[in-house]
Structure 1
Amino acid sequence: MTILVWNVIGVLMSRCFINETNTDDIAVMVSGNVDDHLAEGREVFNYFDSRGDERINVSQVGDVLRALGQNPTEADIKNCCAQWKEPDHRITFEEFVPIFQTINNSRAVPSIEEFIEGLSHFDKDGNGNINVAELRHLLTTLGERLSDEEADQLLAGHEDSHGNVNIADFVRHVSQR
């Protein structure tokens, strides 16, 4: 529900800028529930505003997105913030909302079954398990790499007596975090 609300907010914010409408007029255009989500987003945004000027550094965009439940890659953030060359450039909440919308719309969240299927390609024996060392290697070397400590936390309690991790159980556990 929150993601849908943020999409609506993003569209409304974009229309406000296109029509040069004052952003205070958004309150007139949206219902109370959306107002609550907009307020929540602004509250999170303002938490990262260290100067009290209602702006954040471009370098904080990823942190704010993650605090709002998104999981952008560093490449996603870099692409969305490419227009601001200096990492200490500060943006307003109104500039942030379309970034949120772009990140939100670009990510189709894979289903649990798709994650299981993806990891099953590393199941050499076809028994639904993956070697814990191999899984740890994947987590720390590919894509958005985890630190050794993060991988240890994620894998804790999943290794069986043969040094394997049940793929389906692992994916379900991780998806509930």
Structure 2
Amino acid sequence: MAEEAAAAPDFSPDQIEDFKEAFGLFDRVGDSQVAYNQVADIMRALGQNPTNKSVNEILGNPSADDLANKRLAFDAFVPMLKKVDALPKGTVDDYVEGLRVFDKEGNGTVMGAELRIVLSTLGEKMTENEIESLMQGQEDENGSIHYEAFVKHIMSV
């Protein structure tokens, strides 16, 4: 485990302060800790995009009861954030290639309706609200989405 942490980049003092401030926003009790079930949200608020599975592994695969009731201090959170930051991240090309499978006509577009079904049923399923938020303004008048521009838009947010 020490080797993994050593491979992760060190955060600057300014970054640590920003992380601490964001972490504090999730402290609803006032004990300078957050619930286990908030860790993934905090990481995402800090610009990471871990899967729920990765976060659960980093937390030691806690039970549903532990997720709801166990709390985590900031000093224990930072090494977890380093692990997530060190995880391989998908590139624009990776995601474009994944969506190309749904490009039936080979014209750089996928049907918005088909993409909605995929997002709601495969992998880490998204809610209807999350999908609508993600796809807002992305479909053309035919209900198609230019997936390369779509991926670049998502990756830039």
TM-score by length of 2: 0.82
State the match for 2:10 in structure 1: 8
1:166 paired with 2:156, answer no
- Gaps of at least 5 residues in structure 1 are 1-5, 10-33
2: distance between equivalents of 1:113 and 1:53?
43
| Secondary structure at the counterpart of residue 9 of structure 2 | helix
2: distance between equivalents of 1:148 and 1:111?
25
Identity score, percent: 34
1:134 paired with 2:114, answer yes
1:46/1:153 CA distance change after superposition, 3 Å: closer
| Corresponding residue to 1:71 among 41, 49, 68 | 49
Alignment of 1:92-171 (within 5 A): 92-106=73-87, 108-171=88-151
Q: Write out the 4+ residue segments of structure 1 that deviate beyond 4 Å after TM superposition.
A: none
1:47 paired with 2:25, answer yes
Q: Give 1:131's aligned amino acid.
A: M
Alignment of 1:10-29 (within 5 A): none
| Corresponding residue to 2:40 among 62, 66, 70 | 62
1: distance between equivalents of 2:97 and 2:145?
15
1:80 paired with 2:82, answer no
State the match for 1:91 in structure 2: 72
* Root-mean-square deviation (Å): 1.9
Given that 2:56 and 2:62 are in contact with CA atoms closer than 8 Å, whether structure 1 keeps it comes out as: no
| Secondary structure at the counterpart of residue 8 of structure 1 | coil
2: distance between equivalents of 1:54 and 1:63?
16
Shift of residue 100, structure 1, vs aligned partner: 0.7
- Gaps of at least 5 residues in structure 2 are 1-7
Given that 2:24 and 2:32 are in contact with CA atoms closer than 8 Å, whether structure 1 keeps it comes out as: yes
1:131/1:38 CA distance change after superposition, 3 Å: same
State the match for 2:5 in structure 1: none
Shift of residue 78, structure 1, vs aligned partner: 1.0
2: distance between equivalents of 1:114 and 1:141?
20
2: distance between equivalents of 1:130 and 1:142?
16
Structure number with larger C-alpha Rg: 1
